[in-house]
């Protein structure tokens, strides 16, 4: 298989690239290195990929570059490139979210019009649901994003849907729920929690700590994403979560145990766009993709904590 992976230097994208290469696929990765965190750290995410002869890389901005020929050799396009983050999507930064999440997706879909048989797997987000009416949340639930980020992800989903309907593109959207694991972005909860625990620093938690999240380990997400590429299902959107919920406070207890010392926590007001609870109904993923989760939160946190310890000196030196 020849795969195109956009956002290949990011957290999930780089893990997907490594897994595809290990499966024997040829992978062409693209990334534009947005400034949400350091370029050097993203480049390090590709260290393993560059050891493979079947990996090639191009730095480009999907919303501006000439995409003619980019998809020609690909059998599957995994579109993970995006401007991430709920809290930073307000105000003047929204322009970047529209650029990287909506315009980039539309231009990539345009490039696929001459070859609609290629499978297009789009990485969406549970943020499209906002404060969901039902937990666990089914894909039939009406999306009501609570953040500008969620709005851009939902808009991109609609673009996929309309290119499927009008041009016959073989597209599917996956709604990822609270992904964590090695290479997680520095702004994400478990990265911040582990970093504070290792360094013995105080940690700010926004809200009372009883927020519920469906934390999903990155290898489970990667497996679901590959399964979506291999599947012939025409479902418009599929949840990819752990199918269980954990409070932030409970996750912090696990991290304190791993650090063998308590984490000093300061509780602050909830941030705009943060929802109280998320939870994925993964029935459709099981039925359509053969998806099963393999990593419980306790085990996943142990793996992420070990990765943070290995890279801790570097992480702290860049803080």
CA distance 3 to 258: 37
Which pLDDT belongs to residue 303?
Answer: 98
pTM: 0.96
Residues 6+ apart with CB under 8 A from 87: 147, 271, 272, 273, 274
Interval 178-213: pLDDT, tens: 999 999 999 999 999 999 999 999 999 999 999 999
CA distance 60 to 223: 26
pLDDT at residue 312 is higher than 70: no
CATH of domain 2-180+218-243+279-295: 3.40.50.720
- Residue tagged 């304190």 (tokens): 256
Which pLDDT belongs to residue 315?
Answer: 46
% residues pLDDT > 70 (the chain) = 97
Which pLDDT belongs to residue 313?
Answer: 45
Which pLDDT belongs to residue 107?
Answer: 98
Interval 58-104: pLDDT, tens: 999 999 999 989 999 999 999 999 999 999 999 999 999 999 999 99
Burial of 302 (0-12, 13-18, 19+ CB in 10 A): middle
CA distance 309 to 315: 9
Nearest partner of 219 among 154, 122, 299, 309, judged by Cα: 299
Which pLDDT belongs to residue 31?
Answer: 98
Domain ranges of the chain: 2-180+218-243+279-295
The first and second tokens of residue 84, run together, are 């991430």
Catalytic residues: 149
User: Once rounded to an integer, what is the mean pLDDT over residues 313-319?
Assistant: 49
Which pLDDT belongs to residue 161?
Answer: 97
């Amino acid at each position: 298989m020849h795969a195109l992976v956009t956002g290949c230097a990011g957290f999930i994208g780089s893990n997907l690239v490594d897994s595809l290469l290990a499966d024997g696929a040829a992978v062409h990765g693209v990334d534009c290195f947005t400034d949400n965190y350091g370029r050097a750290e993203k480049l390090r995410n590709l260290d393993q990929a560059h050891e493979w002869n079947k990996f090639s890389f191009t730095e480009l901005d999907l919303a501006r570059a000439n995409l003619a020929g980019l998809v020609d050799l690909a059998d599957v396009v995994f579109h993970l490139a995006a401007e991430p983050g709920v809290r930073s999507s307000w105000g003047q930064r929204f322009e970047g979210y529209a650029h990287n999440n909506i315009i980039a997706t539309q231009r990539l879909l345009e490039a696929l019009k001459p070859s609609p048989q290629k499978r297009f797997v789009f990485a969406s987000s549970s943020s499209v649901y906002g404060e969901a009416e039902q937990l666990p949340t089914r894909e039939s639930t009406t999306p009501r994003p609570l953040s500008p980020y969620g709005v851009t992800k939902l808009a991109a989903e609609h673009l996929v849907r309309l290119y499927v309907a009008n041009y016959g593109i073989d597209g599917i959207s996956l709604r990822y729920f609270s992904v964590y694991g090695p290479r997680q972005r520095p702004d994400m909860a478990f990265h911040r929690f582990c970093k504070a625990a290792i360094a013995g620093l105080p940690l700010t938690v926004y809200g009372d700590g009883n927020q519920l999240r469906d934390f999903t380990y990155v290898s489970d997400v990667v497996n679901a994403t590959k399964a979506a590429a291999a599947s012939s299902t025409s479902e418009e959107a599929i949840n990819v979560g752990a199918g269980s919920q954990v409070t932030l406070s409970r996750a912090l207890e696990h991290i304190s145990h791993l650090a063998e010392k308590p984490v000093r926590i300061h509780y602050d007001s909830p941030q705009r766009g943060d929802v109280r609870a998320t939870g994925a109904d993964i029935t459709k993923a099981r039925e359509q993709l053969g998806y099963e989760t393999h990593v419980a939160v306790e085990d996943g946190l142990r793996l992420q904590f070990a990765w943070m310890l290995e890279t801790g000196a570097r992480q702290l030196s860049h803080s």
